[in-house]
Amino acid sequence: MMQREGRDPRALALRVLTFLGGLYFFLYFITPESLIEQTSIKAAHESISNGFIAVGSMAIGLGIINILAAHGLKLIFAKKGWQFSLALLVGMFVMIGVTIAHWITTDRLSADIRRVQVIGDFAGRIVEDARSEPGRYKSFAPTGVLPPLQARVAALDQYGIETTHYLNLSGTSFTGDLALQELQSECVEGAKTLTDLLIKLRMRSWNNLDQEGEALLTSVSQQAARVASTYAIVRRKESARWLSSRLYDFLYNGLFNHLGASMFALLGVYIAAAAYRAFRIQSVESALMMTAALVVMLGQISFGKMLYSEMPAIRQWLLEVPNSAAFRAIRLGAGVAGLMLSIRMWLSIESRKGGGHK
Amino acid sequence: MNGLEHATPAVIALLLIALCSFYREFVRIQRGWQHTIRRIPGVDAIEGAVGRSAEQGRAVSFTTALTDVGPVLYACLGVLQSVAKRVAQYKLKLLVPQYSPEAMAVVEDSVREAYSEVGKSGLFDPESIMFLSSEQFAFASGYMGLMHREKPGAAFLFGSFAAESLVLSEAGQQVGARQVAASVSPEQVAFFICTCDYTLIGEELFGASAYLGRDPVQVATVAAQDRFKLLLVSLIAVGVLCATVIAFVPGLAWLRPLDLLSVGWEAIAQ
């Protein structure tokens, strides 16, 4: 169905890619779900969809280049309104810098917290695995078979001691408000208790898991979970004071979000102005609109019910019947039109002249 | 059909009918068949609004607002091309504020093509297609500022809109621009009717580009969508009729032809 316009190899390649991409999603849509589940397509589908999203996200780079080109040139040649371009570029770079700094610090913070959480998870997993059949196959183990219990406990002990030592070092600043100091001290005390429990692990044999050993590992797991949760609160409270967090909070939550909210607040004023303009009865349509609006408004308030007890029911009928029907009609028409245009885009059918988009 | 991940047999049948309908109209157009498109006052007003701007020597603004790359954007591009050609012929200033970086590249290409089609490539100013923000209200704020600075004589609002629709159209009203809006978002249509001189509702947006451009392929698309819509409306009428009959004669409950639309492959296999 393609026209011969596609002699340009770039345009032809685009058309072929568009067609193949569309064909994949079309076939995925029309194939029965049971058939999809029997094949490996289901698992690959998410990756394929993410691939398309990744291609789309490249447009962010395109957007940044466009901004730099348009506003950078304006600034360099000192064209009219260059001050606005300067403000935009400065704002953009400051926001990019602050967001990257904030991202790096929160990423490090999450890794630190996770490091502590792992102790509890690891101890819990050892107990869980030891309870089940020993030596059974485990897909997550590198060799496919779990290492011996003794080796795993030794690894837990070593990792736990290293991490709690790190906790003891980082938690000794005792600065800030009283609540934070209390939490810091709780964290250090908890880490000491955890170290004691870990030392106890060394003092016994781990050839098999008896009741006492299971209780000890469970205590390690629970204590580590407690320490991890306190540590997470302490670190998050501390991180809120960092310069990158404070700048990000000020620029994004303090400035940007509130400016957006101010714009949204304008809507209230504009709705009143637009309503006034619309409700000047100049034609049969506006009279009809005015009457419907009046009924809906009266149906919403008790005064309307005082005037006529059936007013809320009429309001409900207006909203549910004529209003819904009109909404559905608009959606149906737009949906069908969108479907036909999608078919045309999928097959890259365009005229040689007029309306032909690349 | 919201959230339908895999088509049922009836949906596949409807899709095939849609494809056949499109193919039939496309073949007819190639054989020289001429369709006529009903006049839409809002579409006629587009030309009038640009003409008025030319008389006043004011700029023309066209925004696709929150529209991302997709069928709606392509429908808007047809109208944008038509507006850009007239703007180029009248040597007016064109303002195309953008929300989506992806759409911006396509829009720029489209406007450039329109200028070159009327032999006015030299008049094309890439800065007329400006990226404002991909944040809804930051875009609305930028658009308001632009309207108040440039005071365009005509403002076209085509595409997908959300809560910012009224902010955009009120800004146009305040500077006395003649406004034509077209939206596929039914919730925003009421706001546009209140604030714009003309409003195209739903699918009229798709028809506008075919009407203005008289492009045979676009006209064939409109013809195919009308045929397909006729089929869907007939199905709705049959459904309403059957539901009414069942309400009066409950014994005829098996008479639910539209239930076929939701019957899956498993039920057929059984």
What would the pLDDT profile of B190-200 be if each residue is shown by its tens digit? Answer: 889 888 999 99
Q: What is the mean pLDDT of residues B25-44?
A: 85
| Tens digits of residue pLDDT in B215-265 | 888 888 899 999 999 999 998 898 888 888 888 887 777 767 667 777 777
Whole-angstrom distance between the N-terminal and C-terminal Cα of chain B?
A: 24
Residue B97 confidence (pLDDT) above 90 = yes
CB contact under 8 A, A264 and B214: no
> Bigger pLDDT: A279 or B212?
B212
pLDDT (0 to 100) of residue A354:
41
Q: Which of B18, B186, B191 sits opposite A330 (nearest CB)?
A: B186
Q: What does the alpha-carbon distance between residue A175 and residue A146 come to, in Å, rounded to a whole number?
A: 44
Query: Per-residue pLDDT tens for B141-181?
Result: 899 999 999 999 999 999 999 988 988 999 999 999 999 99
- Choose among A1, A338, A344: nearest Cβ to B72: A338
Q: Identify the residue among B184, B189, B197, B212 best suited for mutation to test binding to A, counting A beta carbons within 10 A and taking the highest.
A: B184
Average pLDDT, chain A: 82
* Rg, Å, chain B Cα set: 22
Please give the Cα distance from B193 to B173 (Å, whole number): 12
B211, B40 contact by CB (below 8 A): yes
pLDDT of B87 reads 95
Q: In chain B, at which residue ranges do the beta strands (DSSP E only) sit?
A: 60-65, 94-98, 129-131, 154-160, 178-183, 198-201
pLDDT at residue B157, as a whole number:
96
Contacts of B186 in chain A (CB under 8 A): 326-327, 330-331
Of A56, A326, A340, the CB nearest to B225: A340
Interchain CB distance below 8 Å, A349 and B26: yes
The CA distance from A247 to B104, in Å, is 31
pLDDT of residue B57: 93
Interface touch B209/A59, C-beta < 8 Å:
no
Other Cβ atoms closer than 10 A to A198: 24
Candidates B30, B206, B270: best to mutate against A (most CBs of A within 10 A) is B206
Instruction: Point out the residue among B126, B141, B232 whose CB comes nearest to the CB of A332.
Output: B232
Q: Which residue has the tokens 């990158």?
A: A244
pLDDT at A357 over 70: no
A63–B184 C-beta distance less than 8 A: no
State the alpha helices, DSSP H only, in A33-177: 33-38, 41-76, 82-131, 149-170
Residue A316 has pLDDT above 90, yes or no: yes
Q: How many CB atoms lie within 10 A of CB A262?
A: 11
CA A195, CA B30: separation in Å to the nearest integer? 83
Q: Do residue A334 and residue B205 have CB atoms under 8 angstroms apart?
A: yes
pLDDT at B1: 42
For the segment A65-100, what is each residue's pLDDT rounded down to a tens digit?
A: 877 887 888 889 988 888 988 998 999 899 999 999
- Give the least confident one: A165-169, A201-205, A243-247, B164-168: A165-169
Whole-angstrom distance, CA of residue A316 vs CA of residue A323: 10
Higher pLDDT, A166 or A6: A166
Interface mutation vs chain B, best among A340, A343, A344, A352, most B CBs within 10 Å: A340
Q: How far apart are CA B251 and CA B136, in angstroms?
A: 54
d(CA A85, CA A70): 9
d(CA B217, CA B54): 31
| Residue B30: Cβ within 10 Å count | 12
> DSSP string covering A214-252, please?
HHHHHHHHHHHHHHHHHHHHHHHHHHTTSHHHHHHIIII
Lookup result for tokens 């494809």: B19
| Residue from B14, B217, B228, B230 whose CB has the most chain A CBs within 10 Å, to mutate | B217
CB contact under 8 A, B6 and A31: yes
The pTM for the full model equals 0.75
Instruction: Give the whole-number percent of chain B exceeding pLDDT 90.
Output: 46
CB contact under 8 A, A333 and B105: no
Q: At A38, list the tokens.
A: 């029997």
**Alpha-carbon gap, residue B137 to B164, rounded angstroms:** 7
Q: How far apart are the CA of A313 and the nearest CA of chain B, in angstroms?
A: 22
Nearest CB to B131 within list A63, A334, A354: A63
Separation of alpha carbons A277 and A41, rounded Å: 56
Contact yes or no for A330 and B217 at CB 8 A: no
Say yes or no for a CB contact (<8 Å) between B6 and A345.
no
Whole-number Å distance between alpha carbons of A117 and A128: 17
Buried b (16+ CB within 10 A) or exposed e, A20-40: eebeeebebeebbeeeeeeee
Cα torsion through A120, A125, A130, A133, rounded to 10? 170
| Nearest CB to A277; choose among B15, B19, B195 | B195
For A70, the closest chain B residue by CA position comes to B127
CB contact under 8 A, B71 and A337: yes
Decide if A62 and B232 are in contact by the 8 Å CB cutoff. Answer: no
Nearest to A337 among B19, B70, B225 (CB): B225
For residue B71, give the nearest of A62, A256, A342 by CB distance. A342
Is the pLDDT score of A169 beyond 60? no
Provide the β-strand partners of residue B95: B61
pLDDT in tens, A222-274: 998 998 898 888 888 888 888 888 999 999 989 888 888 888 888 788 888 77
pLDDT at A356: 41
B209 versus B153: the higher-pLDDT residue is B153
- Search chain B and give the residue with CA nearest A326: B186
Say yes or no to pLDDT of A133 above 70. Answer: no
Q: Which two tokens stand for residue A318?
A: 């207006």
- Say yes or no for a CB contact (<8 Å) between A338 and B189: no
CA Rg value for chain A: 33
Test A340 with B228 for CB contact under 8 angstroms: yes
Which residues of chain A are within 8 Å of residue B137 when distances are taken between CB atoms? Answer: 259-260, 263-264
B136 and A339 within 8 Å at the Cβ level: the answer is: no
Contact list in B for residue A29 (CB cut-off 8 A) is: 5-7
The burial of A50, by beta-carbon neighbours within 10 Å (0-12 exposed, 13-18 middle, 19 or more buried), is given as exposed
In this complex, the residue of B75, B101, B169 whose CB is nearest that of residue A62 is B101
Pick left, alpha or beta for residue B34 (phi over 0 → left; psi -120 to 50 → alpha; otherwise beta). beta
DSSP A302-322: HHHHHH-TTHHHHHHHHIIII
Beta carbon pairs, A and B, within 8 Å = 181
Find the range with the poorest average confidence among A303-317, B137-151, B208-222: B208-222
- Output the six-digit token pair for A1: 């169905």
CB atoms within 10 A of CB A124: 17
- Which residue has 């955890």 as its token pair? A194
3-state secondary structure of B102: helix
